[in-house]
């Protein structure tokens, strides 16, 4: 019905609009375009963008592995909540600012956060792969359980759905490299979770595109029967991919909690506030490409950073409307831009007929 528009055309149009905006901003620095341009170009917006991108990029990376293998993981939001919350609470229990076995308690909390998310992903994998549950329903269940569990546990410990503050990760500054003009401060003088995000994206891209495991993951989602015929256990590949999605989402949730939030609000939508769903939007937008998903998360996190900066400067911003932009984008991409296609066997349990 609707003609697919080439991704390049879309990028071209966006590029032209951006160029127009930059010119307008430079010529009329007092206009809206000029103010927006100066904020967009300010270093504090860039650092905020990188930090806000962490949960989105890492959850999206996890979602790519799970969905590529044929298991749609709608529960990413739940994994982010679980890892963020448990990282904070464990750091609090151990006592923030101290260390055990030469490792600061923030890192112990971080490790437990990743472990908790991995454990949840493992349960999700068992339910979907061995018990052949509907993946969408099971994913929703993971989200709802996490949504209840975080404020539940928080009330027991803190008597409130919000946890106490535990402080944040310090910036890690790499000498010499951080002195590089323009982007040195951005990439080499930043809290550890940003390094983790960039590193994990590179590892994820390599794993998916350059290794046998990556090929198995893709085959398991597109044509599990063929993979089975080739002698690879589809069940094991899917287990590995889903557990990996838990590890990545856990890195994102725990890193965001300890590096950015420093506390966890468990009421309502929780402090994660739908970032797991933005992650789903992001990887669909990027058509399952890990580096594209990183770029997409920069885009969506950049919008959030921009809006926060505008509000700090006292501009009246339709916050709620700006928040819908990622969601509108993904619908537009799904509808008008071709080639975003779910893997052939995504959502279906695979039965090897060997029982």
Partner 1 sequence: MRDDIERLLDRLVHASVVERVVISVAALFAAILVGGVLVFVSGGFASCRAGLDLAGATFCYNPMQVYYELFLGSLGHPLGGDWTPMNYSLATTLRQTTLLIFAGLSVAVAFRAGLFNIGTQGQLIVGGMLTAVTVLFAASYVPGGFVGTALLVPIGVLAGAVGGGFYGAIPGALKAYANANEVITTIMLNFIAIGVTSTLLSWRFQDPDSANPQTRPVPEYAEIPNLPFVGFSGRMDFSLLALGFAIALMIAVAWLLARTSFGYELRTSGTQPEAAAYGGVDEKRMTVASMTLSGALGGVAGAFWVLMQHGYWLENVPPLGFDGIAVSILAGNNPLGVGFAALLFGILSSGANSINTATDVPPELVGILSGLIILFVAMPEFFRMIGRRYVDVGDPAPVRADGGEADD
Q: 200 vs 304, which CB is nearer to partner 1?
A: 304
Q: Which is nearer to partner 1, 144 or 202 (CB)?
A: 144
Q: Measured on CA atoms in the order 252, 253, 258, 259, is the torsion positive or negative?
A: positive
Q: Which stretch binds partner 1 (CB under 8 A): 155-163, 192-200, 244-252, 297-305?
A: 155-163
- Segment holding 298, helix H or strand E: helix 290-312
DSSP 232-270: --HHHHHHHHHHHHHHHHHHHHHHHIIIIISS-B-STTT
CA distance 311 to 343: 41
CB 169 within 8 A of CB 106: yes
Instruction: State the sign of the Cα–Cα–Cα–Cα dihedral 122, 124, 126, 128.
Output: negative
Options 149, 196, 293, 308; binder of partner 1; rule CB under 8 A? 149
For residue 321, state whether it binds partner 1 (rule: CB under 8 A). yes
Return d(Cα 314, Cα 168) in angstroms, integer: 27
Q: Considering beta carbons, is residue 101 or 229 the nearer one to partner 1?
A: 229
Binding segment for partner 1 (CB under 8 A), chosen from 213-221, 251-259, 266-274, 299-307, is 266-274
Instruction: Mark residue 28 as left, alpha or beta (left: phi above 0; alpha: psi -120 to 50; beta: remaining).
Output: beta
User: Minimum distance from CB of 232 to partner 1 (Å)?
Assistant: 22
Could you tell me how many residues of this chain bind partner 1 (CB under 8 A)? Answer: 54
DSSP E strand stretches across the chain = 99-100, 103-104, 172-173, 189-190
User: 130 or 344, CB closer to partner 1?
Assistant: 130
Closer by beta carbon to partner 1, 249 or else 349:
349
- When asked if residue 344 is in the footprint of partner 1 (CB under 8 A), the reply is no
Q: Among 121, 243, 261, 281, which residue sits at the site for partner 1 (rule: CB under 8 A)?
A: 281
Comparing CB distances to partner 1, the nearer of 217 and 278 is: 278
The phi, psi pair for 165, rounded to 5°, reads -80, 145
Q: Judged by CB, which is closer to partner 1: 6, or 130?
A: 130
Q: Is 161 in the site for partner 1 (CB under 8 A)?
A: yes
Stretch that binds partner 1, among 56-64, 172-180, 229-237, 313-321 (CB under 8 A): 313-321
Whether the CB-CB separation of 274 and 55 falls below 8 Å is answered with no
- What gap in Å lies between CA 305 and CA 231, rounded to an integer? 48
List residues binding partner 1 (CB under 8 A).
1-2, 72, 74, 127, 130-138, 140-149, 151-153, 155-157, 161, 266, 268, 274, 277, 280-281, 284, 318, 320-321, 323-324, 327-328, 330-331, 334-336, 342, 347, 349, 351
């Amino acid at each position: 019905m609707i003609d697919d528009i080439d991704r390049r055309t879309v990028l071209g149009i966006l590029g032209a609009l951006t160029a127009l905006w930059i010119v307008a901003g430079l010529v009329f620095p007092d206009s809206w375009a000029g103010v927006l341009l100066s904020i967009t170009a300010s270093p504090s917006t860039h650092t905020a963008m990188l930090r806000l991108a962490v949960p989105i990029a890492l959850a999206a990376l996890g979602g790519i592995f799970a969905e590529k293998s044929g298991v749609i993981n709608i529960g990413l939001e739940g994994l982010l909540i679980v890892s963020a919350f448990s990282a904070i609470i464990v750091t609090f229990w151990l006592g923030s600012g101290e260390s055990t076995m030469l490792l600061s308690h923030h890192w112990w909390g971080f490790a437990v956060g990743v472990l908790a998310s991995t454990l949840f992903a493992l349960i999700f994998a068992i339910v979907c792969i061995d018990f052949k549950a509907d993946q969408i329903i099971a994913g929703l269940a993971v989200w709802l359980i996490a949504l209840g569990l975080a404020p539940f546990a928080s009330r027991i410990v803190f008597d409130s759905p919000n946890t106490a503050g535990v402080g944040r990760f310090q910036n890690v500054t790499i000498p010499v490299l951080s002195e590089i003009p323009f982007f040195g401060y951005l990439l080499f003088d930043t809290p550890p979770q940003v390094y983790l995000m960039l590193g994990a994206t590179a590892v994820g891209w390599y794993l998916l595109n350059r290794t046998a495991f990556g090929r198995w993951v893709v085959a398991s989602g597109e044509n599990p029967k063929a993979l089975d015929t080739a002698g690879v256990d589809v069940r094991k590949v899917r287990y590995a991919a889903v557990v990996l999605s838990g590890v990545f989402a856990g890195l994102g949730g725990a890193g965001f909690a300890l590096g950015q939030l420093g506390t966890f609000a468990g009421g309502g939508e929780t402090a994660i506030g739908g970032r797991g769903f933005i992650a789903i939007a992001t990887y669909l937008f990027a058509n399952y490409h890990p580096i594209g998903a990183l770029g997409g998360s920069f885009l969506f996190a950049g919008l959030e950073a921009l809006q926060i900066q505008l509000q700090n400067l006292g501009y009246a911003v339709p916050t709620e409307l700006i928040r819908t932009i990622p969601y509108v984008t993904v619908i537009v991409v799904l509808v008008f831009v071709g080639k975003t296609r779910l893997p052939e066997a995504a959502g279906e349990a695979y039965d090897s007929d060997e029982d």
